[in-house]
């Protein structure tokens, strides 16, 4: 299978997954609920003295880890596809 076919297949899959993900969301759904939850319970649940730190390191930590791993996988994929054939 050529690299162009693989890239096209991956892009088509990502577009399909993105469209499926968008179907479940309504605009601005749950923004006020999340804000109220973080402001009322953030200090008590995390024990942090700074609310921004509490949100980032406690509530959003897994999201940040997965973003970093996705960046690593994307970089590795680009390097794999861009390398020259010997």
> pLDDT per residue over 27-71, tens digit each?
666 667 878 888 888 888 888 888 888 888 887 888 888 999 999
Buried b (16+ CB within 10 A) or exposed e, 47-61: eeeeeeebbeeeeee
Residue with the two structure tokens 């999340």: 34
Contacts of 51 (CB under 8 A, 6+ apart): 38, 39, 42, 43
pLDDT at 86: 46
The pTM of the whole model exceeds 0.85: no
Q: Are 38 and 59 in contact (CB under 8 A)?
A: yes
With H, G, I as helix, E, B as strand and everything else as coil, classify residue 20: helix
pLDDT at 72: 96
């Amino acid at each position: 299978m050529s690299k162009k076919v693989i890239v096209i297949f991956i892009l088509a899959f990502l577009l399909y997954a993105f469209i499926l993900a968008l179907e479940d969301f309504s605009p601005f759904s749950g923004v006020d609920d999340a804000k109220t939850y973080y402001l009322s319970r953030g200090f008590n649940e995390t024990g942090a003295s700074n609310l921004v730190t509490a949100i980032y390191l406690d509530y959003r930590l897994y999201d940040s880890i997965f973003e970093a791993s996705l960046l690593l996988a994307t970089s590795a994929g680009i390097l794999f596809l861009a390398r020259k054939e010997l």
